[in-house]
A and B are shown apart, each in its own frame.
Chain A
Amino acid sequence: MTAFAQPPRTAHVIHSDAEAIAVAHKLAARFAVEASVRDRERRLPVAELDEFSASGLWGITVPKEYGGAGVSYVTVAEVIKIISAADSSLGQIPQNHLGVLDILLQTATEEQKRYYFGKVLQGYRFGNAFSESKSKNAGAFETRIRFDTDTAQIDGEKFYCTGALFAHIVPAVAVNEQNQAFIAFIERDNPGLTVIDSWDGFGQRTTASGGVTLNAVKVPLSAVIPAHKAFDEPTADGPISQIIQAAVDTGIAVGALEETKRYARESRPWIDSGQDHGWQDPFSIAAIGELEWRVHGTEAILKKAGQAIDAALLNANEDTVAHTSVVVAQAKVLSAEIALLASSKLFELAGTRSVLGKHNLDRHWRNARTHTLHDPARWKYHLIGNYLLNGVKPARHAWN
């Protein structure tokens, strides 16, 4: 298992938003080449991830005062979208790494920030051991942390641990006796930490989002942060987790729409249309038009969500964080909707030949259906409506 997490290569340090976008485009073009093969064979993207983190993209949110680029969240969303359009599994893997960087910023000591931000700039990857499949709901944790004089011990069982298999350090969420959540940064080879490659979902197949067991794992106190403070007080951490979700789904939609156009161009004309080519079909053309404006509408709202997060980071209070949650929820609804629509319309507009196994085009729909299940869009309509109609501020947690 440890074979997956090679010691990090020296990572490039990205210095600006524009550089981050340019690097993302360059990487995405390379990742796109074998994305379908990796999905078909469930070949984990070990070499690609090394290239991804060595590019510096995993460190772009490290603030300038700690040596990073401190890019805007408009840029973060754009980067994740670009990578996800090429390979949405690769786009999803840094999701929790980026979320954890903000929790570090919000809740860690100065010394911890210097240490962990430094590691990230060197190319270290954080995985995650957050969610639990057996707890009452997504926000409930049964994994326990017990503090001694100079160490903490963590015991529990995690699932949906995207990135853990490939990580150098696995941040794990555990609660104390007062049910307050902490995050412990556990070295990948720490005794008692076991990462299980058990993810066999039909979509996002190469994320290795399997299980982690924590059996009397001991870490020094310096490796623990009081993560609950990121939600006790109003911070943008929930929206930051969510915008990355929405960016992955927007990327899936963009990738599916590109494939739709490529294959629709080659489709046969319908027998009753009197036309020579499939691309002349007025109904197909209009259907492409429909997908286009919906994709652009989603991208425009994703950008608004990034801007709202940037504003909330500068001025975090109950109102700015509530507003940000609402805008990010809009991005979440729209991206889930268009990812599913585009990846399904693909077949309608490209025709029966597009379902042949050799094309593996179903991966877009499988990825869209799987990734959009992270949290239900139906509750986002409710969150947005409740804020608008009743002035109720969204609950603060990692899913809002």
Chain B
Amino acid sequence: MNALTQPIVAEQPLAKSQHDLHNARSLLDATLRFVRQQSKTTDDPFVISRFGDVHIRIEVAAALLERAQEFLNRHEDDSEISVAIAESHLASAQALSTVSDAEFELTGQRTVLPGSLQDPLRWKLHLIGNFRLNGIRPVQLA
């Protein structure tokens, strides 16, 4: 099972992105709350810039989710939609993993938020690359 053999559920193709993005934002809020209670930490330039990095990854995920949604609404070409959805999944997963690392680094705790193992990201990279490099269309939505 992978992204090529497992069709994305047609009704909720962006559910995974929304789920990861939601978790990423919650985790960021929790981490911000924790750090704000440590008075000296909020002045640490490296802690501050770490939050900058996390925030960027979350905003990219939100922007690519919105973009994929627009592709769906506009009824773009099916392959373009599949690729935009795959890109959104990758961005959300990266946002979640970045904030999760930051949580561990800054709070010493790690909230366990497992992603789906049934739908590996590595094959989404392949799906996107194979379309853009070789013109091979992704398996279409049901």
A327–B48 Cα gap in the complex (Å)?
16
Across the interface, do B52 and A388 meet the contact criterion of CB distance under 8 Å? yes
Centre residue among A286, A304, A327 by max chain B CB count within 10 A: A286
Kindly identify which residue among A261, A327, A333 contacts B133, using a CB–CB cutoff of 8 Å: A261
Contact residues of A between 279 and 302, Cβ < 8 Å to B: 279, 282, 284-290, 292-293, 296-298, 300-301
A261–B49 Cα gap in the complex (Å)?
34
Contacts of B20 in A (CB 8 A): none
B30 within 8 A of A: no
Minimum Cβ distance to chain B for residue A285 (Å): 4
A381 within 8 A of B: yes
**Contact bitstring B128-142, A, C-beta under 8 A = 1, else 0:** 111011100000000
Contacts of A288 in B (CB 8 A): 128-129, 132-133
A389 within 8 A of B: yes
Across the interface, do B125 and A290 meet the contact criterion of CB distance under 8 Å? yes
B59 within 8 A of A: yes
Across the interface, do A304 and B63 meet the contact criterion of CB distance under 8 Å? yes
Nearest residue, chain A, Cβ from B31? A389
Contacts of B27 in A (CB 8 A): none
Interface size for chain A: under 10, 10 to 19, 20 to 34, or 35 or more residues? 35 or more
- If over half of A's interface residues share one DSSP class (helix, strand or loop), that class is named, otherwise mixed; here it is helix
Contacts of A388 in B (CB 8 A): 32, 51-52, 55
Contacts of A54 in B (CB 8 A): none
Contact residues of B between 49 and 76, Cβ < 8 Å to A: 49-53, 55-56, 59-60, 63-64, 66-67
Given A300-B64, A381-B53, A389-B32, are A261 and B132 also a contact pair (CB < 8 Å)?
yes
Contacts of A385 in B (CB 8 A): 47-53, 55
Centre residue among A289, A329, A383 by max chain B CB count within 10 A: A289
Minimum Cβ distance to chain A for residue B31 (Å): 10
- If over half of B's interface residues share one DSSP class (helix, strand or loop), that class is named, otherwise mixed; here it is helix
Contacts of B127 in A (CB 8 A): 289
Across the interface, do B52 and A297 meet the contact criterion of CB distance under 8 Å? no
Nearest residue, chain A, Cβ from B49? A381
Across the interface, do A384 and B52 meet the contact criterion of CB distance under 8 Å? yes
A284–B133 Cα gap in the complex (Å)?
9
Contacts of A300 in B (CB 8 A): 60, 63-64, 66-67
Interface size on B, residues (CB 8 A): 37
A380 within 8 A of B: yes
Given A286-B122, A293-B87, are A382 and B129 also a contact pair (CB < 8 Å)?
no
A390 within 8 A of B: yes
Minimum Cβ distance to chain A for residue B13 (Å): 16
A265 within 8 A of B: yes
A296–B126 Cα gap in the complex (Å)?
16
Contacts of A282 in B (CB 8 A): 126
Nearest residue, chain B, Cβ from A262? B133
B114 within 8 A of A: no
State the 6 A-B residue pairs at the shortest beta-carbon distance, nearest first.
A385-B52, A289-B125, A381-B52, A289-B129, A289-B128, A300-B63
B residues bordering A, Cβ < 8 Å? 32, 35-36, 42, 45, 47-53, 55-56, 59-60, 63-64, 66-67, 83-84, 86-87, 90-91, 122, 124-130, 132-134
A-B contact pairs, 12 of them (CB 8 A): A261-B132, A279-B134, A285-B130, A293-B91, A293-B128, A300-B64, A333-B56, A383-B52, A385-B47, A385-B55, A388-B55, A390-B42
Q: Could you list 15 further interchain pairs (A-B, Cβ under 8 angstroms) beyond the known A279-B134, A330-B56, A384-B51?
A: A264-B133, A287-B129, A292-B129, A297-B60, A298-B60, A300-B66, A301-B63, A330-B59, A333-B52, A381-B50, A381-B52, A385-B55, A388-B52, A388-B55, A390-B42
